[in-house]
Chain A
Amino acid sequence: MLRSLLLVARRDYAAYVGRRRFWLSLLLTPLLLLAFVFVPGVLANLQSARTYTVIDHSGWVWPAVARRIAAGDYTQLLNLAAAAARTGTVLPQPLARLAPAAGKLTAPQRRALATALAAGGPAPISGPAAGLWSKRRAFIAWYRALTTKAARALDRGLSIARFRYLSPPGKTPVVLNQAVNRDKLFAYFVIGTKPLAGDAGFVYGSRNLTDTALRNWFSGEVNAVVRARKVRETGLPKARARWLQVPVVFHNRLITKAGAKRVSAAERAAQWLPVGYVYLLFISIFSISQILMMSTMEEKSSRIAEVLLGAITPGELMSGKVLGSLLVGLTMLGFWVVVIFLALGYFGPSLGGAGTFAKGLLGAISPTGLGWFFAYFVLGYLFYGALLGAIGAAVSTIQEAQPYMTPVTLLLMVPLILMVPIVKNPTAEYARVLSYIPPLTPFVMMNRINAPPPLIDYILTTLLLGASVVVLLYFAGRIFRIGLLNSGAPPKLRQLLAWLRTPARPGTDVAD
């Protein structure tokens, strides 16, 4: 019994993993998943900087905003230099020359120096800041000459890595509009004459109003300047004014059984790990259940089944095929895990935020989580494999299989639809209820893993799923036994039900 089963499993396994197209499809799937994570970042890199100009009717807002923007970038560059002094990261000149001195300044000192550099004074009196001040001309000239590409290579957070100011081609709306229409400008801003009185005369003109990054960024800068001016005009002391403007921020704390803890960006990314689990479960279970169905159908339609059944029992054949496809699935998952780890290890650091996100996801994978993932993969596959394997035995062509596959496919879509709502609210009552529905159990339980379900949920849902698998395999065995030798038109639903009612004892087949 076991020998025949293993022979069938070995053949089915070799038949799939020996195909070049199998490995190609394996490669394509993680590439697709990685593309979901990294393509937005790559596209953002490829996108040229948004060019803009400003018509300032107030006479004072734009100079202040320009200083503020420059100060922001200078601060980031000084921070970069300070970090390089600690880590030894190689920076281009003249930034590299600033690194040792920048490393000696505190963050507020660097911010103050950047503000002074942007405003042209006052010069720091002594210490490392004074040393840096003496190199300001070379630094500012270098900053102004920075290309978008070079700025992005340094830090994608720099404003000049994303947005570029161009001198106005003219002051009239007609000229500005022409510049926009001819793609000389992405957008232009018009600042009204009395910003302190309100937003009359404020305009943002662009052909693309869906990309709001430039508008939001520039609005923030202008608002900060106008707000500062308003505060100044009220006569409040600077410290008082700053105090007034400090917003209240809620700091995230992740509550676990061990208590509350601060969350890093990587840990926040890890909150999306269940989505990865559910996707992988969906793709792998669906793929290998289909493999089982197709190979069964092939053996039936090419009349190999009868030769096989002359040599081994239907039970051995079905078990061997189920095992073979399961091994294909495990190979598939193992390959994906290795490729994803290697790809993220190699490319992750150069991908900025996306890399941090991916690193966070991988860092959150625990042996227990992985254990449950594989357990649910096996059980989920046995559940859907029994369904699709039985369909493969009952029909001879993919067209005949279609009507039976549709409900199974729809069933498999449910976890995908629920994936995001559950990951956002893994403790919801509906999530718990859904995890007790066997066809959904593997997906919903992995979906809830961030707020780990109670042990009783794991035990009961797994037992329920296991029992369903046993029942399904039992009935699939009946369809398999009869269906494989059934030729001619595909069975109607009523006939399939009759096969299901046919006990697996001698001489009671309902079809030849």
Chain B
Amino acid sequence: MDHPVTARENAVPIPSGAAIELHEVGKYYGIHAAVDHLSLVVPRGQVYGFLGPNGAGKTTTLRMITGILEPSSGRVQVLGGITPGEARARLGYLPEEKGLYKDMKVVDMVAYFGALRGLGLREAKARAADRLARAGLGEWLGAKCNALSKGMGQQAQVIAALLHDPELVVLDEPFSGLDPVNAEMVLELIKQYRREGRTVLFSTHVVEHAEQICDAVAIIHHGRLVVNGPLEEVKARAGRSVLLDYEGTLNADTLPGVISADDAGHHAELRLAPEADTQRLLHLLTEQVRIHRFDTREVSLKQVFLAAVGHEGTRHAA
């Protein structure tokens, strides 16, 4: 998306204090713990990926961070120690399932959401018209929302959610249901926010997206934090892996030093134990298959994710 203002113009001075601080946060529905004793600190100015399989508690956590839900226990603070309720005007939230007022004009709807986040009505309308035009929706300003195509509707929703240029942007599955063009638009937007010094926290199933743009990641499983830290650190902690292109029948799980294998047939990623001997492994592999590529490198985020959430993750990690 062609954003109206340059990163330098719109850069946010980074004040002290974390963008998000969760202290022993829990959310319980009867005996079910959607989120359990979750502590997390997201520094300002970072793009933070929030990963986890379905039902892990991602949406519940994001809703608590944005003040839509109150935690059952613990404390949520944002933007240097204030409550989400106090930070509403400085916080942007795009939920996974996005809706439009079908009978409302596109520009009015976008401006309405901006005004609800604290923009003056006139300013919100001017800004909405400008951003919609820059996103290629200039001809649709006066059209009813139900006249927009799905892709255009998604663009309008993203613009509406972030019209007030929030310091902290929370996106729940922002790529879900988007076509590649709009997914690219959101990716670009996140990158731009990073350049501007804003903080972005987003949940996703698409591990590759997280790996592509995140400074840090947190993975939760059954409501508990299982992995957290800067992306490179997380991957480094997980050890090394081998990327393998091969022909034949691979039985990697039995090989010494291999913790897990993500085998797609003719191509596999083998996650290695710290003490693994790669020379010996190569030798043993040549006894099983004909090797075209043997590449030692740090593990992928997908491997980290799979390792963290076990078999449940295989259904969700793209």
Which A residues are closer than 8 A to B by beta carbons? 4, 7-8, 11, 15, 19, 299, 302-313, 485, 505-512
Task: Tell me the B79-100 residues at the A interface (CB within 8 Å).
Answer: 85, 88, 91, 93-95, 97-100
23 contacts between A and B (CB under 8 A): A7-B116, A15-B104, A19-B103, A302-B102, A303-B98, A305-B99, A306-B68, A307-B99, A307-B161, A309-B68, A310-B88, A310-B93, A310-B95, A311-B93, A312-B88, A485-B68, A485-B69, A507-B28, A507-B70, A507-B73, A508-B72, A512-B59, A512-B69
B30 interfacial contact with A, CB 8 Å:
yes
Q: Which residues of the partner chain A approach B103 to less than 8 Å between Cβ atoms?
A: 15, 19
Number of A-B pairs, beta carbon distance below 8 Å: 83
Task: Tell me the B152-185 residues at the A interface (CB within 8 Å).
Answer: 157, 160-161
Q: Which residues of the partner chain A approach B95 to less than 8 Å between Cβ atoms?
A: 303, 306-307, 310
Q: Which residues of the partner chain A approach B85 to less than 8 Å between Cβ atoms?
A: 313
Complex CA gap A505/B69 in Å reads: 11
- Contact check, B100 vs A304: say whether CB atoms are below 8 A apart: yes
Give 9 nearest A-B pairs by CB, closest first.
A506-B70, A507-B72, A310-B93, A302-B99, A304-B99, A303-B99, A303-B97, A311-B116, A306-B95
B199 interfacial contact with A, CB 8 Å:
no
Complex CA gap A302/B100 in Å reads: 7
Q: Which residues of the partner chain A approach B69 to less than 8 Å between Cβ atoms?
A: 485, 509, 512
Give the interface centre of A7, A305, A512 by most chain B CB atoms within 10 Å.
A512
Task: Tell me the B39-94 residues at the A interface (CB within 8 Å).
Answer: 59-60, 63, 66-73, 85, 88, 91, 93-94
Given contacts A304-B101, A507-B72, A510-B30, 4 further A-B contacts (CB under 8 A): A11-B104, A303-B97, A307-B98, A505-B70
A4-B116 contact given A306-B68, A307-B161, A507-B72, CB 8 Å threshold: yes
Complex CA gap A308/B66 in Å reads: 11
- Contact check, A512 vs B66: say whether CB atoms are below 8 A apart: no
B contact residues, range: 35 or more
Task: Tell me the B1-43 residues at the A interface (CB within 8 Å).
Answer: 27-30, 34
Q: Which residues of the partner chain B approach A302 to less than 8 Å between Cβ atoms?
A: 99-102
Q: Which residues of the partner chain A approach B71 to less than 8 Å between Cβ atoms?
A: 506-507
Complex CA gap A377/B72 in Å reads: 40
- Contact check, A308 vs B70: say whether CB atoms are below 8 A apart: no
B201 interfacial contact with A, CB 8 Å:
no
Complex CA gap A408/B97 in Å reads: 32
B252 interfacial contact with A, CB 8 Å:
no
Q: Which residues of the partner chain B approach A306 to less than 8 Å between Cβ atoms?
A: 63, 68, 95, 97, 99
A11-B112 contact given A311-B88, A507-B70, A511-B29, CB 8 Å threshold: yes
- Contact check, A510 vs B29: say whether CB atoms are below 8 A apart: yes
- Contact check, B29 vs A7: say whether CB atoms are below 8 A apart: no
B198 interfacial contact with A, CB 8 Å:
no
Complex CA gap A126/B115 in Å reads: 89
Q: Which residues of the partner chain B approach A311 to less than 8 Å between Cβ atoms?
A: 88, 93, 113, 116-117
The distance from the CB of B77 to the nearest CB of chain A, in whole angstroms, is: 14
Q: Which residues of the partner chain A approach B100 to less than 8 Å between Cβ atoms?
A: 302, 304
Closest residue of chain A to B172, judged by CB? A306
- Picked from A303, A304, A512, the residue with its CB within 8 Å of the CB of B29 is A512
Q: Which residues of the partner chain B approach A308 to less than 8 Å between Cβ atoms?
A: 116
- Contact check, B99 vs A7: say whether CB atoms are below 8 A apart: no
Complex CA gap A311/B103 in Å reads: 21
Complex CA gap A312/B95 in Å reads: 14
Closest residue of chain A to B59, judged by CB? A512
Q: Which residues of the partner chain A approach B70 to less than 8 Å between Cβ atoms?
A: 505-507, 509
Give the interface centre of B28, B98, B116 by most chain A CB atoms within 10 Å.
B116
- Picked from A309, A313, A505, A512, the residue with its CB within 8 Å of the CB of B34 is A512
Complex CA gap A306/B72 in Å reads: 19
Complex CA gap A4/B117 in Å reads: 9
Complex CA gap A359/B67 in Å reads: 57
Complex CA gap A312/B69 in Å reads: 12
Q: Which residues of the partner chain A approach B29 to less than 8 Å between Cβ atoms?
A: 509-512
Give the interface centre of A304, A311, A510 by most chain B CB atoms within 10 Å.
A311
Closest residue of chain B to A312, judged by CB? B116
The distance from the CB of A479 to the nearest CB of chain B, in whole angstroms, is: 16
Closest residue of chain A to B32, judged by CB? A512
